[in-house]
Chains A and B, each alone.
Chain A
């Protein structure tokens, strides 16, 4: 299950809130005690962001918001907001109604949870509060999937969720600009795979369907109705046309309604190229694909039917399945993951005898095929994404450390960035070098430039003297005088003095004159003056000579200087 907590610039953000589909007990929920031992989470989280509608990313959301307690904003894209509740409700029905579980969220909780959702548009910066801002990027993978950029001040994090870098027939490839986040967080699970091409998967699908049809069998394809069904319909239609096939293809009515709604959602979300493909193809006006009537299931001969729901847990697809399961010429193609407790899950695990309602058993004689069409990034894709975003550090989640050393080495070598691989429950601290932007007053800038020397070079810092004033939310660098003026303070000048004793029998004036002559000869390049008031000035250092009261041969040199005197000049003075 995906659920990541990020603390950045004093803000706490929860990234995804998924359910672990392999557990039946509380281990399926994320462990929220990492946030707080008891009590609601609202005070501890600034926001929750959901990347897409898959249950391993949003399945625990109603549990978190309604049963543990969270009243803050939940961000997700528009399609995710539309689709999430449908999936969550289906999931709830299976878990509670079919499996009789009790510690689970209710339908009302799903509704209450969705009321807290703030929908996101792509590439639009959203201010969560005056310091935290987020932006969604297109992730491909499924409809509405987003990668999210989180920024607090000058520090930022990008969370990828699930994404893919190769476009397919109805989804484009993920894209992000060179946002240079401090950390890029990505799944590692797919980073060590090299994916078989989409066309090969489609080929397999067509081959299976064709083989069944050829031997007079019926093919049932249970679908979730959103996205994949559309794509598979187009695929079959093209194939039927090309091969001049006659067997009928149907889609169930439940599909049409949902699909029309989905289509509208989809069209605004997708890019130009894909929009064109869909607009040409007027949704469910296929030449070879017609609406299904339940009486057709008993028709003799080969046929293909797309029916909902996708996991064979209820409704039309289950009804058709019951009718067709007993014939080995028939086939059922499961195009995705099935939750535990559903018939889909059981047959994918090889079960050939199913217990149905009323204690009757169903013999599963038809061919069961499991095909995965989901689009995920792979080893190459992850490198492409890093190249796109240029993060300063990389964080890989959900992998096994021993199985990721190579990938870590590869990333570190190619991009010269650190790559972290925390285990579940582990905290990683990444030190960033936030840059603090400061305004500089024009006068100060001019003065610094007038000092001469090489032009400002970002690689060669130069020390300068100024005063940093923090007023409200702005930082300004001004000259000391201006600062004093703005603050209404008087300037104080510090002068340091020291007394040096000399043995010199001459008169005060003579001694002073000798000092003057000596300094003039050794301190070339400095301004040395012998003033009428009886002092010698070396730049701003003042030298006075007086005789000691006890002994006229002991002269006391009074040296006085202000704070800014150059070190070397001072040293020379010590030479006397």
Chain B
């Protein structure tokens, strides 16, 4: 595409964005990231995933975003690299341990985890402090990781359903192991309360277990019409604050765009379904993300199928499988990417801001990171 042509399309999108976004920030990292993880209300961690040397960065979000009343007086629009570190392997999964300055990573090559100290005010270096052994055996996709606030820092991890373990970070001791009949590769792990967690498998199965008991986990089979090569991703809403199981929702998204929402009390049943408008021509298991909005009702964000992040409102969905249109689509990455090799850009990760209802961060394969606060154009909905 000619430069002027590209500029025009980009200008058009930016002009359109005046109405469709409240805030918009566009950044370019030196290397693309597959992870975006909150380490505090104002900082996130990102990391590279090349096969050799990579950086882990803790970035502070622009002050302007948080300035609120005096927003106009704050000109500060940039990310600040507050801490940085080096790793010799790719970072495929990164999780912050709440209540600590610790993050845990997995390189996607084995099920072992690396433990890091993000550092405080006296240094800007992120240092490796140790590791956590994963379960032995075949593991292709690398481990999923989950953590919640607890008196003793603990991490829940595993690459397959049989072998998910809860490990104490300081002692390295395993305090709980999930036992399942089959070893299904995992696509996600989530805590829904201090003790209850969800293990979402790539084949669509969901295990619900309680770390306090040794009772067998509850198994929810894959949604119907799931084929052999179909992959599934899961998210559970309202994590640690979910005291009432009925308000905990599970969303399952397939590589064909089929979405099923169930609630925790009855994970096998479907509260609602929809066929999402996702391009399924390319689908890398590593990149797809589906997430519930933490501060909006019934809103789900989906990314990884293309260069866009889509927001859906599930409140209008029914138990009948019908096509759903996104409430909002962030096409910033696709529009502003100038790929030299003809490979289209795709979104590698997204996260919602924990408190600001419509603010998200998204990252793409070209190294771009966007922070955006979208405007809900519809009358009803989120």
> How many angstroms from the CA of A378 to the CA of B81 in the assembled complex?
10
Instruction: Pick the interface stretch among A300-308, A404-412, A478-486.
Output: A404-412
Q: What string of 1s and 0s marks CB contacts (under 8 Å) between B20-36 and chain A?
A: 00001111111000000
Q: Which residues of A contact B84 (CB under 8 A)?
A: 406-407, 410
**Complex Cα–Cα for A206 and B18 (A):** 8
Instruction: Give per-residue flags for B330-369: 1 if the beta carbon is below 8 A from chain A beta carbons, else 0.
Output: 0000001000000000000000000000000000000001
The stretch among A144-152, A215-223, A367-375, A501-509 that forms the contact with chain B is A367-375
A370–B73 CB distance below 8 A: yes
When distances are taken between beta carbons in the complex, the residues of chain A under 8 Å from B14 are 199, 202-203
Within 8 A of A (CB), among B56-80: 59, 62, 70, 72-80
Q: Is A116 an interface residue (CB 8 A)?
A: no
A-B contact count (CB 8 A): 105
| Count class of interface residues, chain B | 35 or more
Q: Are A197's CB and B27's CB within 8 A?
A: yes
CA distance A379 to B76 in the complex (A): 16
Q: Are A370 and B75 in contact (CB under 8 A)?
A: yes
Check A196–B27 contact: CB distance below 8 A: yes
* Interchain CB contact (< 8 A) of B124 among A203, A207, A239, A403: A403
A194-B59, A405-B123, A410-B84 are known contacts. Are A370 and B72 too (CB-CB below 8 A)?
yes
Q: How far does the Cβ of A402 sit from chain B's closest Cβ, in whole Å? A: 6
Q: Please determine whether B81 and A194 come into contact, CB atoms closer than 8 angstroms.
A: yes
Cβ-closest chain B residue relative to A348: B73
Interchain CA distance A410-B82 in the complex, whole Å: 14
**A242, B27: Cβ atoms closer than 8 Å:** no
Whole-angstrom CA separation of A207 from B375 in the bound complex: 14
Q: Are A372 and B77 also in contact (CB < 8 A) when A194-B27, A194-B29, A195-B27 are?
A: yes
CB of A555 within 8 Å of the partner chain:
no
Q: Are A405 and B72 in contact (CB under 8 A)?
A: no
* Alpha-carbon distance A193/B28, docked complex (angstroms): 11
B116-129 interface bits toward A, Cβ cutoff 8 Å, 1 = contact, 0 = none: 00000111111000
B17 at the interface (CB under 8 A from A): yes
- Cα of A348 to Cα of B71 in the assembled complex, Å: 11
- Given contacts A404-B124, A405-B124, whether A200 and B26 have CB atoms under 8 Å apart is yes
Q: Considering the chains assembled together, what is the distance between the CA atoms of A201 and B62 in angstroms?
A: 13
Bound complex: CA of A273 vs CA of B62, how far in Å? 32
Task: Across the interface, name the chain B residue whose C-beta is closest to A242.
Answer: B15
The distance in angstroms between the C-alpha atoms of A368 and B121, with both chains bound, is 33
Residue of A194, A200, A243, A379 near B24 (CB, 8 A) is: A200
User: What 1/0 flags go to B65-108 for Cβ under 8 Å of A?
Assistant: 00000101111111111111110000000000000000000000
Give Cα distance in the complex from A413 to B85, angstroms. 12
Question: B55 within 8 Å of A by Cβ?
Answer: yes
Give Cα distance in the complex from A410 to B79, angstroms: 18
**Does B10 sit at the interface, judged by CB under 8 A?**
yes
Query: Smallest CB-CB separation from A198: which chain B residue?
Result: B26
On chain A, the residues within 8 Å of B15 by CB distance are: 206, 239, 242-243
A379 and B83 form a contact (CB under 8 A): no
A467 beta carbon closer than 8 Å to chain B: no
B18 near A196 with CB under 8 A, answer no
Verify B72–A380 contact, CB threshold 8 A. Answer: no
- CA of A349 to CA of B74, assembled, Å: 10
Q: How far, in angstroms, from A180 to B191 measured CA to CA in the complex? A: 54
Please count how many residues in chain A sit with their CB below 8 Å of the partner chain's CB atoms.
Answer: 41
Q: Give residues of chain A (507-535) contacting chain B, Cβ–Cβ below 8 Å.
A: none
Is residue A92 within 8 Å, beta carbon to beta carbon, of the partner chain? no
Knowing A207-B18, A405-B124, say if A193 contacts B75 (CB, 8 Å).
no
Q: Are B73 and A378 in contact (CB under 8 A)?
A: no
- A358 proximal to B (CB < 8 A): no
Instruction: Choose from B18, B30, B124, B369 the contact partner of A406 (Cβ within 8 Å).
Output: B124
By a CB distance below 8 angstroms, the chain A residues around B27 are: 194-197
Q: Which residues of B contact A407 (CB under 8 A)?
A: 84, 124
Please indicate the chain A residues that have their CB under 8 angstroms from the CB of B25 in the complex.
196-197, 200
Do B75 and A199 touch across chains, with their CB atoms under 8 A apart?
A: no
A350 at the interface (CB under 8 A from B): yes
Minimum C-beta distance from B128 to chain A (A): 13
- A210: CB under 8 A from chain B? yes
For B10, list chain A residues within 8 Å (CB).
199
B73 touches A368 (CB 8 A): yes
Contacts of A410 in B (CB 8 A): 55, 84, 86
Q: How far is the CA of A383 from the CA of B85 in the complex (A)?
A: 16
Q: CA–CA, A246 to B192, complex, Å?
A: 55
The answer to whether A406 touches B125, judged by C-beta atoms less than 8 angstroms apart, is yes
Known: A197-B28, A368-B72. A379 touches B81 (CB 8 A): yes
Closest B residue to A208 by CB, please name it. B72
Which residues of chain B from 118 to 149 have a CB within 8 Å of any chain A CB? 121-126
Considering only CB atoms, which chain A residue lies closest to B121 in the complex? A402
Q: Does A192 contact B (CB under 8 A)?
A: yes
Closest to B13 in A: A199
Nearest chain B residue, comparing its CB with the CB of A384: B30
Q: Using Cβ atoms and an 8 Å threshold, which residues of chain B touch A199?
A: 10, 14, 26, 336
> B26 touching A194 by the CB < 8 A rule?
no
Give complex CA distance A406, B81 in Å: 10
Q: How far is the CA of A203 from the CA of B11 in the complex (A)?
A: 9
Pairwise interchain contact A194-B17, C-beta atoms closer than 8 A: no
Bound complex: CA A369 to CA B73 (Å): 5
Q: Which of A153-208 contact B (CB under 8 A)?
A: 192-197, 199-204, 206-207
Inter-subunit contact B80/A193 (CB<8 Å): yes
Q: Which of B77, B82, B83, B125 has the most CB atoms of chain A within a 10 A radius of its CB? A: B77
- Most chain B CB within a 10 A radius of its CB, from A196, A204, A372, A413: A196
Q: How far is the CA of A555 from the CA of B367 in the complex (A)?
A: 90
A193 to B72, Cβ gap below 8 A?
A: no
In the docked arrangement, what's the CA distance between A242 and B15, Å?
Answer: 9
Distance of A201 Cα from B336 Cα, bound (Å)? 15
Contact with B along A533-560 (1 / 0, CB 8 A): 0000000000000000000000000000
A350–B70 CB distance below 8 A: yes
A193-B78 contact in complex given A367-B72, A406-B84, C-beta closer than 8 Å: yes
A409 and B123 contacting across the interface, CB-CB below 8 Å = no
A407 to B81, CA, bound (A): 10
Instruction: Known contacts A192-B81, A203-B14, A242-B15; decide if A197 and B26 are in contact (CB<8 Å).
Output: yes
A229-254 interface (Cβ within 8 A of B) = 238-239, 242-243
Q: In the docked arrangement, what's the CA distance between A249 and B285, Å? A: 52
Nearest CB of A to B65, in Å: 10
Q: Which residue of B lies closest to A367 (CB)?
A: B72
Which residue from chain B places its CB closest to the CB of A191 in the assembled complex? B81
By beta carbon, the residue of chain B nearest A210 is B18
Q: Is the CB of A371 within 8 A of B55?
A: no
Contacts of B80 in A (CB 8 A): 192-194
Q: Given A196-B27, A242-B15, A350-B73, does the pair A402, B122 have CB atoms closer than 8 Å?
A: yes
A384 to B30, CA, bound (A): 10
Query: Chain A nearest CB: distance from B27 CB in Å?
Result: 5
Chain A residues with CB under 8 Å of B30's CB are: 379-380, 383
**In the complex, what's the smallest C-beta–C-beta distance from A419 to chain B, in angstroms?**
14
| CB interface residues, A 407-433, toward B, < 8 Å | 407, 409-410, 413
Determine which of B53, B77, B122 lies in contact with A201 in the assembled complex, contact meaning CB atoms within 8 Å.
B77
Contact at A196–B78, with CB atoms within 8 Å? yes
Verify B79–A193 contact, CB threshold 8 A. Answer: yes
Instruction: Give chain B nearest CB distance to A541 CB in angstroms.
Output: 61
Could you pull out 11 A-B pairs where Cβ atoms are within 8 angstroms? Answer: A194-B79, A195-B27, A197-B26, A197-B27, A199-B336, A200-B77, A203-B14, A242-B15, A350-B70, A370-B74, A406-B125
20 extra interchain contacts, Cβ-Cβ under 8 A, other than A192-B82, A369-B73, A402-B121?
Answer: A193-B81, A194-B27, A199-B10, A200-B77, A203-B24, A204-B77, A206-B18, A239-B15, A242-B15, A348-B73, A370-B75, A371-B75, A372-B75, A372-B77, A380-B28, A380-B29, A402-B123, A405-B124, A409-B86, A410-B84
**Which are the 6 A-B pairs with shortest beta-carbon distances?**
A406-B84, A196-B77, A194-B79, A372-B75, A197-B26, A369-B72
A residues with a Cβ closer than 8 A to B are 192-197, 199-204, 206-207, 210, 238-239, 242-243, 348-350, 367-372, 378-380, 383, 402-407, 409-410, 413
